[in-house]
Amino acid sequence: MARSKNILLAGLIGLGTLLCIPEASALPPPISTPASGDELEESSGAFGFLNGANRSQALLGDMWGLRKSLSNYGITLGIQDIEEYLGNTMGGAKQGYGYDGLTQVLLQMDTNRAFGHYGGLFNASFINIRGGLGVENNNIMALQTISGIQAESTTRLWELWYDQKFLEEDRLDVKIGQQSLDQEYMVSSNALYFVNTMFGWATLPSYNMPGGGPAYPLASLGARISARPIDGVQLLAGVYNGAPAKQYLDNAQLNNLHGMQFGMGQGTLSIVEAQFSYPSLGSMVSPGQKQPLGWTYKIGAWYNSLPFADMQYDSAGLAMGGGECANSASNCQPQMHKGNYAIYGVADQLIWRSDTDPNRTVSLFGRVMGAPQQDRNTISMSANFGLLMHSPLKNRAADTLGLGFGYAQVSSSFANATRDAYMVSGTSGPIPTNEWMGELTYQYQVKPWFVLQPDIQYIYNPGAGIPNPNSPTGARVPNALVAGVRAIFNF
C-alpha cells in the first residue's frame, strides 16, 4: 500500500502543472451587433418582440426602441447567452456532468455615425460567467479541456479599445486599449464552430504564456497595427503587457477577477501575423463564372520578454524532482530563462461547393504551433485540424456539421521532470507524452436567434498520461467519452 501511494504521489508531483485548468480558455462563438436598429423587428408592447421571433436575428428585436435610440448616436448593442451541459459518460478519473453558462454584452460606437469622424470605432464588451470550472479537474483531467466558455465564475470587463482607420480604402488601422488576442490572432474561423477549448486559443499558449495569455476571459493593455499593402494580404503586429494579471503565477483569473487591471510594466508580449486570402476583398465574379473556392492562410510568431522558470533544474543545476520540488537536495529555486517564443501557421480552405445549392460547402482547417525552447515550456507543440460542412441536410441552409481533432505534445523537459520525481521517490509510473482529442458537433439553427448544438468528444490519453488519483497502482487516467449539448441565444 505504501508503495502504491508513493507511485501516485510521484506521478502527481511530476504532473502538477497539468492538473490545473489552463488560465486562458478558448473563446465563445462570435457575437455580432446589427448595423442599425432599423434592421430588427419592432417590439412594441411587453411581448411585441414575439411577433417577429421567426424572422429576427435577435429575440428581443429592437428592444422596445432602445436599439433604434442607440443607433441615432452610432451605438450598436449585441447580447448573446450560451448555456451548456457537458460531461464524460465513460473513462476519465470518474464520470459526471456539469453546467456552464456565459452571457456576453457588446457595445460599439461608430464615430462617423456618432459625430462625423470617419474611421473610428469604440468597443466595450462585458461577460458574466457561471458554473465555474465544471467537471474538468475532477473528472477528465484533459489538457484540451472540453468547453471553451468554462472559466472562474464572475462578471467582468473583457475588452475596452478604440480602433482608427487610415489611408484610402482603410488600408491601415490602429487599435489601442485592453485587448483579447484570440479575437484577431492565431485563430481559424472554421474552428470556432466547435465546443472544445483548444479549437479557439491553442493549447500551447494556454499553458506556456504567463497567466495563459491575454485570451478569453482575460485581456491585456496594448496596441495593434494592421496594414493591407495589397489586396489579399493583411499584416498584423501588436505589443501588449506581458501578463493579463498583476499576480499571474497563481491564478490570473482570480487575481484579475473583474477585468479591471490595466497592467503595464510586466514585460512585453509581441506578436506578428501575416494573412493571405483568396479571393481578395472586392473581387468580382464574371457572369456565368463559378464562384472560386476561397482560402485563408496565416503565419505568425509571438515573443514574451518575461522570465520563465525551468521545467527541470534549480538555480544550482540540480534536478528539482518535479513541479513540487520533491528533491530535498534542491534549493527549489528554478533556473530562470529570459523570454519565450513560439511560431504557428493556420489554414482555412474551402474545398467543395454544391452546383445547385451555394449554401452547401465543405471546408478544411488546420493550425500547428511549436515552442522550440523545451526547457521552459509545458507544451512543446499543439495542433488542430478538421472538416466543416455547411447545410449538410436538404432545406437546412443554416446548419453546420463539424468533425475536428486536437493534439498536444508535452515538452521533453517536463517529461524528464516527471522521471526525476519517480527517481526521488524510488518508484516508477507513467511518463507524460501526448494527448489526442476528437470532436463531432452539429449546430442546428432552431430560429435565427437560437442554435442548439449537440456535441460528442473523445479524449485519448487524458493529461498526456497523468496517473489516475483513484487508482492504487497509479495507472493512467482512462480515455474519456464526453457528450452534452450547448444552446446559443442572441437577444
Q: Are 40 and 58 in contact (CB under 8 A)?
A: yes
In the predicted structure, residue 360 carries a pLDDT above the cut 90: yes
Q: How confident is the model at residue 12 (pLDDT cuts 50, 70, 90)?
A: very low
Amino acid letter, residue 403: L
> In terms of Cα–Cα distance, which of 260, 23, 30, 67 is closest to 159?
260
pLDDT digits (tens, 9 = 90+) for 174-230: 999 999 999 999 999 999 999 999 999 999 999 999 999 999 999 999 999 999 999
**Mean of the pLDDT values across residues 303-332?**
91
Q: Using alpha carbons, list the distances in angstroms from residue 457 to 86, 303, 429, 482.
A: 10, 32, 27, 5
Name 53's Cβ contacts closer than 8 Å, sequence gap at least 6: 59, 447, 449
Q: Using alpha carbons, list the distances in angstroms from residue 275 to 16, 303, 345.
A: 37, 19, 10
| Percent of the chain residues past pLDDT 90, beyond the cut | 71
Which pLDDT score, from 0 to 100, does residue 99 have? Answer: 92
The half-sphere exposure of 428 on its side-chain side, counting CA atoms within 13 A, is: 0
Q: How confident is the model at residue 118 (pLDDT cuts 50, 70, 90)?
A: very high
Q: How confident is the model at residue 425 (pLDDT cuts 50, 70, 90)?
A: confident
pLDDT digits (tens, 9 = 90+) for 229-253: 999 999 999 999 999 998 887 789 9
Name 142's Cβ contacts closer than 8 Å, sequence gap at least 6: 136, 435, 437, 459, 462, 463, 480
Which pLDDT score, from 0 to 100, does residue 4 have? Answer: 43
Top-confidence range, 130-144, 341-355, 473-487: 341-355
| Higher per-residue pLDDT: 364 or 469 | 364
DSSP, collapsed to helix, strand or coil, labels residue 311 as strand
User: Which pTM value belongs to this model?
Assistant: 0.90
| Higher per-residue pLDDT: 212 or 12 | 212
Q: Which domains does the chain have, with CATH numbers?
A: 2-490 (2.40.160.180)
Which pLDDT score, from 0 to 100, does residue 259 have? Answer: 94
CA 356 to chain centre: 35
Q: How confident is the model at residue 2 (pLDDT cuts 50, 70, 90)?
A: very low
Amino acid letter, residue 234: Q
Which pLDDT score, from 0 to 100, does residue 240 have? Answer: 98
Out of 51-60, 428-437, 476-485, least confident range: 51-60
Amino acid letter, residue 169: E
